[in-house]
Amino acid sequence: MSKLPSLSGDEVIKILIRKFGFEISRQKGSHVTLVKYESGRKVVTVVPLHPELKPGTLLGILKLAEISKDKFLKALK
């Protein structure tokens, strides 16, 4: 099982936008809400703008975004 890299909130947002088709919906304080519409459904995830996201936080973001850990790691390459 591959280890998740250390990424900032900004980096994760850029990856989700460029590779997975998300758009910024809104920002409240230090949290950015991303949304995408997929086969008639709305998929929403929230990313905190921390300098470094903990692995559990990143996994939670990916779970909300309905992206597997392996798919996310492949998108990083």
Asked whether the whole model's pTM tops 0.75, one would answer yes
- Find all residues with CB under 8 Å of 73, minimum gap 6, and list them: 2, 4
Residues of the chain with pLDDT under 50: none
3-state helix vs strand vs coil in the chain, percent to 5: 40, 30, 30
Average pLDDT over the chain, rounded to whole? 95
- Nearest CA-CA partner of 22 in 31, 5, 32, 71: 32
Residue-range domains of the chain with CATH = 9-76 (3.30.920.30)
